[in-house]
C-alpha cells in the first residue's frame, strides 16, 4: 500500500505563498493524488485532486512531476483562516474512498 | 451546499457500555464510509458501503464493532462493549460514483471513561 510522507508542521505569515510537499514513492499507476484540509473538531474538507502535471482551482494549485513520486500543494497568499492540518491521501486498491491518511502537515499562519 | 449529517456531536460513555453513532449522507451518494481518527493522527477507514452492501470492512474490529446501512441511505456504527482505546473522533463520509472527492461530516467525538 502506498504511503505518504509530509512535514509535520509549517509556519507562515499572512499574505505569503505556502507550498506543502507530499512524498508518495510507491504510488500506483491508477492512484490519484488528493489533498484535504481539516480544522479542529471538523471533518476533512476536499481541496484539490490531480493525476499529473498541474491542476488549479479557486483556492489552490497542485503540482505533480512526471514521475508522480511527490506532489506540492500551493496556497497563494494565505490568511489566518488557512491555519489547519493538510493531508495528501492516496486512493489505494482502485476503490475510491479507500484513502490512506498520514499524520498530515499542521500549517500555522501568523499575522 | 448539502452536508453529511452526524449525531450525536459528542458522546461520553463508560467502558463496557454500548454506544451508537448515526450518519445521514448527502442525498444521492451511494457510497458511504466510516472513519476513525485518533487525536493527532489522520483518519483511518473502518468500513465502506456501496448502497446497502459492505465493500470493505477489513479494518473494522468485528468482535466489538458493527455497522449497517439497511436501506442504502443512512447508517449506524455501533460499539459494544466500548473500551478506553476507542476514544476518538468517528467520521462519516459519502461520495457519488467515480473518482469523486469524499464529503465528510463533522464527526462524533467519543470519550470512553
**For chain A, what are the domain ranges?**
9-110
Q: Does residue B112 register a pLDDT over 90?
A: yes
Mean pLDDT, residues A16-28? 93
Mean pLDDT, residues A12-19? 97
Whole-number Cα distances in Å, A77 to A12, A13, A60, A74, A81: 10, 9, 10, 10, 11
Alpha carbons A1 and A26: distance in angstroms, whole number:
8
Alpha carbons A44 and A102: distance in angstroms, whole number:
13
> Contacts of residue A95 in chain B, CB cutoff 8 Å?
48, 55-56
Mean pLDDT, all residues of chain A: 91
pLDDT tens sequence across A34-79: 999 999 999 999 999 999 999 999 999 999 999 999 999 999 999 9
- Domain with B55, as residue range(s), is 5-112
- CATH code assigned at B28: 2.60.40.10
Q: Is the CATH number of domain A9-110 2.60.40.10?
A: yes
**A24: its cell numbers:** 508518495
| pLDDT tier, A95 (very low <50, low <70, confident <90, very high otherwise) | low
Q: What is residue A51's three-state secondary structure?
A: coil
Considering only the beta carbons, identify the residue of A43, A45, A98 that sits closest to B56. Answer: A98
Mean pLDDT, residues B6-30? 97
Alpha carbons B85 and B92: distance in angstroms, whole number:
19
pLDDT for res A90: 80
pLDDT tens sequence across B41-51: 999 999 999 99
| pLDDT tier, B2 (very low <50, low <70, confident <90, very high otherwise) | confident
Is the distance from CB of A27 to CB of A69 less than 8 angstroms? yes
* Helix H or strand E encompassing B65: strand B65-68
Alpha carbons A73 and A21: distance in angstroms, whole number:
6
Does A71 contact chain B (CB < 8 Å)? no
Report how far Cα A52 is from the mean position of its chain's Cα atoms.
14
Mean pLDDT, residues A8-33? 93
> Contacts of residue B95 in chain A, CB cutoff 8 Å?
96-97
Q: Does residue A25 register a pLDDT over 90?
A: no
Q: Does residue A98 register a pLDDT over 90?
A: no
> Contacts of residue B98 in chain A, CB cutoff 8 Å?
96
Amino acid at each position: 500500500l502506498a504511503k505518504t510522507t509530509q512535514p509535520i508542521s509549517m509556519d507562515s505569515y499572512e499574505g505569503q505563498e505556502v507550498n506543502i510537499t507530499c512524498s508518495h514513492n510507491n504510488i500506483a499507476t491508477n492512484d490519484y493524488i488528493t489533498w484535504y484540509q481539516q480544522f479542529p473538531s471538523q471533518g476533512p474538507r476536499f481541496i484539490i485532486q490531480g493525476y499529473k502535471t498541474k491542476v488549479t482551482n479557486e483556492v489552490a494549485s497542485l503540482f505533480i512531476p512526471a514521475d508522480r513520486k511527490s506532489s506540492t500543494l500551493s496556497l497563494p497568499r494565505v490568511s489566518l483562516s488557512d491555519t489547519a492540518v493538510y493531508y495528501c491521501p492516496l486512493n489505494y486498491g482502485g476503490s475510491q474512498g479507500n484513502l490512506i491518511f498520514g499524520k498530515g502537515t499542521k500549517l500555522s499562519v501568523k499575522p | 451546499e448539502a452536508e453529511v449529517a452526524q449525531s450525536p456531536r459528542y458522546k461520553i460513555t463508560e467502558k463496557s457500555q454500548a454506544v451508537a453513532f448515526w450518519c445521514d449522507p448527502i442525498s444521492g451518494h451511494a457510497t458511504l464510509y466510516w472513519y476513525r481518527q485518533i487525536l493527532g493522527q489522520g483518519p483511518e477507514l473502518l468500513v465502506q458501503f456501496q448502497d446497502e452492501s459492505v465493500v470493505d470492512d477489513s479494518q473494522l474490529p468485528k468482535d466489538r464493532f458493527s455497522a449497517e446501512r439497511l436501506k442504502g441511505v443512512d447508517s449506524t456504527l455501533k460499539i459494544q462493549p466500548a473500551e478506553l482505546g476507542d476514544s476518538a473522533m468517528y467520521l462519516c463520509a459519502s461520495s457519488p460514483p467515480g473518482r469523486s472527492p469524499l464529503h465528510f461530516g463533522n464527526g462524533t467525538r467519543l470519550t470512553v471513561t
